[in-house]
Structure 1
Amino acid sequence: MTATVAVTDVPTAGRVSVARGYRFELVKMISQWRVRLLVLVCWIAPALFVAAVSQQGSLPVDTLFGRWMHATAWAGPVVVLGFSGTWALPLLTSLVAGDAFASEDRLGTWRHLLVAVRSPRRIFAAKALASLTVIVLLVAGLAISSTVGGLIAIGNHPLIGLDGHLLTPADAAGKVLLAWVCVLAPTLALAAIGLLGSVALGRSPMGLLLPAIVALTMQLAQMLPIPVAVRLALPGYAFTAWSGLFTSPAQLGPLLIGIGVSLVWAVAATALAYRLFVRRDFTNLTDDGAGRRALTGGLLPLVVLLGVSIGVVTPATGATGSGIEQEKVQQSVATAFAHLYRLQTKQLNRPDVTEAQLKATAACTKGGDQVAAQGAGNDWRCVVTWHLPDVEAAGTAVYQLDVTPDGRYVADGDGPKEVNGFFLVRTPQGDAPNPLWQFDAKLELLSATPKE
């Protein structure tokens, strides 16, 4: 008698989807004490900082909008944004994206992960998406926390823009939100560079530090008197270009170029990281991906991309030189002075006067007659002239300017005392900050003709 035995197929585990892998990587990343601490700090520290600084007598006047932190809630988030673009965001991307793949090399868990997921492509996608989620969460915490801290400590008041015009609370809120959204582009570029460093350098500490090193290098380059086209072609330019949103009209040209360059770098660096990762030999436990391949497959393509960016931006913008010219400085100073003069007039309860009636003009020189009036420097001097209705004599005021290579400048009043020579003005309600004593402004680097 012959017995027939039915053989039942043993079910095999299906491939793990990207969504499931993403949830696993996100939970794994959030479970790290370092990431939890970062989330806690980003969602609490900015509010405490803004609330504390806004109540101090000494304000961070060397930072954009720092001098207005006592007057409006919307100055605080912008001050935090400036600090974040310089220090916080590069460090955050290093700690999150820069460690996304290197942690598996240190722990020796690649074999277990590959057995579970069975697809390097899905592993890469899951880790990249998890890193992106955490970074966006941290950026959102910085923005929301600093805003809430300002609203609680100071209140929802108008904000003075970078050309002296007054922004309503609603306009200020919209521009602050848009500025934070804009810095996501260079943050993504640094995050992609972090992924590339984590893949290419393996367990080496340099992979973790790569985004911070790249950001520091770009900051140093931005401080140099480089041509404006080269400045715009750097992937970190959007970290400062958001300030153009706070002028009227907004300086959108440099900002859009900076965002575009950052996004191109984000895509390119992510693609390079993906290419290196899927080609890695995971059967060799001693190979973490570092070596000559990291140089040829990671660093050199980015250097080529920088050259291509400069080659594309230069003819596309037609920009030459530093972009800081005498006519632009004169127009900017005159425009800002006219706006701020009206604000001072309102403080002193004087009859209102329009910018058209003031007819403010500025005559600016740099370093004396022997130096060309162009480029950055702290040796700019401007004499502003204006007229009041029914007053025959023209008023004059002197400003010393410190212009930075990225087009931002600080105008320091040098008299007369009753106009801009003292930091306080006596109003019917008591002493108040003099808006004409010192003010920040921003030049349009790409504009051939200054905008009024």
Structure 2
Amino acid sequence: MTITATTTPQPTATAPDKRRPGVGAALRWEIVKLAAQIRSRALLAVALIIPPIVVAVLNGQQQPPSDTIYGRHVHDSGYAMPLLMLAWAAQWVLPLLAAVVAGDIFAAEDQHGTWKTLLTRSVSRTHIFWAKTLTAIGYNLLVLVVFAGGTIAAGMLIVGTQPLTGLTGQAIASGTALRLVVTAWATTIAPIIGFTALALLLSVRTRNPAFGIAAPVVIGFVMQLLGSVTGLDLTRKFLLTTPLEAWHGLFAQHPFTGPLATGLAVSAGWTIICLAGAYLSLRRRDITGG
């Protein structure tokens, strides 16, 4: 009788997964934190509610704001309303919208002393930096879309979809006018990202949420003043507020896009410089105190 020895295979131990959480994990956590903030939700609500109110008030006025671009046409076409709102918002509203979250997102960790707790979650400073940066940029673009969409929809519903008068007096058909208005608002994406990067830099450097939020608005206002000074044409091209006016060329009899290309390059330059400065400052920071 032959006895065959059988061996039972022993289970092999599985090596624990030692991979550190990456940017994705940090990004999800930042989004959860932002969504829980009353301020972020309130800003989205304001961006949705305020445009219809402003459009209704302007439409009810007997005397239109004729001293503002497209102000004289607000009763003639619903497409003039979002362009008037865009010109007005470029002065200080858009820089403020860009800074409300970005100016606080790093400084809040200093204010609450949570940097050490955050870094003990096995995420690096680089992961945290890009997670917060992407969260701020994504939120600001969402606010911009809500604000622009509410303004365009309110103009069309309250005033109408009549043809629009161009800046050189030409008539623009309704369908073309809608496309141009949407494009005009889309041109603000690059400078909005630039202002977001500026607010992130100030948030990291100053560690003060109030300064991080207010300073970009003040800087934007100063840029607006410098841009209005004659004799500073070269300086004006490098201001972050100048790209916010680049959409004007789209509404000329013969459209020109040179300012749009220049504005895109200027916005990219501001974004790269500010993000690089913020990143290096965060990398070199001593956070042993909190």
Structure 1 length normalisation: TM-score? 0.59
Matched, 1:208 2:202: no
2:256 corresponds to which of 236, 245, 251: 251
Structure 2 length normalisation: TM-score? 0.91
Q: Which has the higher contact order (CA 8 A, sep 6+)?
A: 2
| Other-structure match for 2:132 | 127
Q: Which consecutive aligned stretches of 4+ in structure 1 deviate over 6 angstroms post-superposition?
A: none
What is the CA deviation profile of residues 195-249 of structure 1, one whole-angstrom value per residue up to 9, with x for unaligned ones? 0000111136323322112201101101211332221121210112211211021
- The answer (yes or no) to whether the contact 2:220–2:240 under 8 Å persists in 1 is no
User: Following TM superposition, by how much is the alpha carbon of 1:276 offset from its aligned partner in structure 2, in angstroms?
Assistant: 1.0
User: Following TM superposition, by how much is the alpha carbon of 1:10 offset from its aligned partner in structure 2, in angstroms?
Assistant: 9.4
Matches of 2:43 and 2:209, distance apart in 1:
22
- Give the structure with the larger helix fraction: 2
- Give the structure with the larger strand fraction: 1
Matched, 1:193 2:198: yes
Return 5+ residue gaps in structure 1 as ranges: 1-7, 286-452
What is the CA deviation profile of residues 238-275 of structure 1, one whole-angstrom value per residue up to 9, with x for unaligned ones? 11221121102113112321221111111111111111
- The answer (yes or no) to whether the contact 1:21–1:117 under 8 Å persists in 2 is no
| Other-structure match for 1:239 | 244
Match of 1:54, SS state, is helix
Identical-residue share of aligned pairs (%): 35
Matched, 1:60 2:51: no
Matches of 2:248 and 2:92, distance apart in 1:
17
Residue pairs, 1:251-400, within 5 angstroms: 251-285=256-290
2:172 corresponds to which of 138, 160, 167: 167
What is the CA deviation profile of residues 274-329 of structure 1, one whole-angstrom value per residue up to 9, with x for unaligned ones? 111122122233xxxxxxxxxxxxxxxxxxxxxxxxxxxxxxxxxxxxxxxxxxxx
What is the CA deviation profile of residues 39-89 of structure 1, one whole-angstrom value per residue up to 9, with x for unaligned ones? 001012112211331132121212211111111111111111112111211
| Other-structure match for 2:107 | 102
- The answer (yes or no) to whether the contact 2:26–2:123 under 8 Å persists in 1 is no
| Other-structure match for 2:75 | 70
Structure 1 residues 92 and 254 mapped into 2: Cα distance closer, same or farther (>3 Å)? same
| Other-structure match for 1:83 | 88
- The answer (yes or no) to whether the contact 2:108–2:209 under 8 Å persists in 1 is no
Structure 1 residues 48 and 278 mapped into 2: Cα distance closer, same or farther (>3 Å)? same
- The answer (yes or no) to whether the contact 1:98–1:207 under 8 Å persists in 2 is yes
Larger radius of gyration: 1
**Which residue identity does 1:138 align to in structure 2?**
V
Matches of 1:156 and 1:204, distance apart in 2:
42
| Other-structure match for 1:155 | 160
Matches of 2:52 and 2:262, distance apart in 1:
32
Matches of 2:66 and 2:118, distance apart in 1:
51
Matches of 1:203 and 1:252, distance apart in 2:
39
Match of 1:73, SS state, is coil
Matches of 1:92 and 1:61, distance apart in 2:
26
What is the CA deviation profile of residues 88-125 of structure 1, one whole-angstrom value per residue up to 9, with x for unaligned ones? 11111221111110011111111111111420000001
**Which residue identity does 2:154 align to in structure 1?**
G
User: Following TM superposition, by how much is the alpha carbon of 1:152 offset from its aligned partner in structure 2, in angstroms?
Assistant: 1.1
**Which residue identity does 2:117 align to in structure 1?**
H
- The answer (yes or no) to whether the contact 2:104–2:203 under 8 Å persists in 1 is yes
- The answer (yes or no) to whether the contact 2:191–2:243 under 8 Å persists in 1 is yes
What is the CA deviation profile of residues 161-186 of structure 1, one whole-angstrom value per residue up to 9, with x for unaligned ones? 10000111111111111111111111
Structure 1 residues 226 and 255 mapped into 2: Cα distance closer, same or farther (>3 Å)? farther
Matches of 1:42 and 1:259, distance apart in 2:
25
Return 5+ residue gaps in structure 2 as ranges: 1-12
What is the CA deviation profile of residues 338-394 of structure 1, one whole-angstrom value per residue up to 9, with x for unaligned ones? xxxxxxxxxxxxxxxxxxxxxxxxxxxxxxxxxxxxxxxxxxxxxxxxxxxxxxxxx
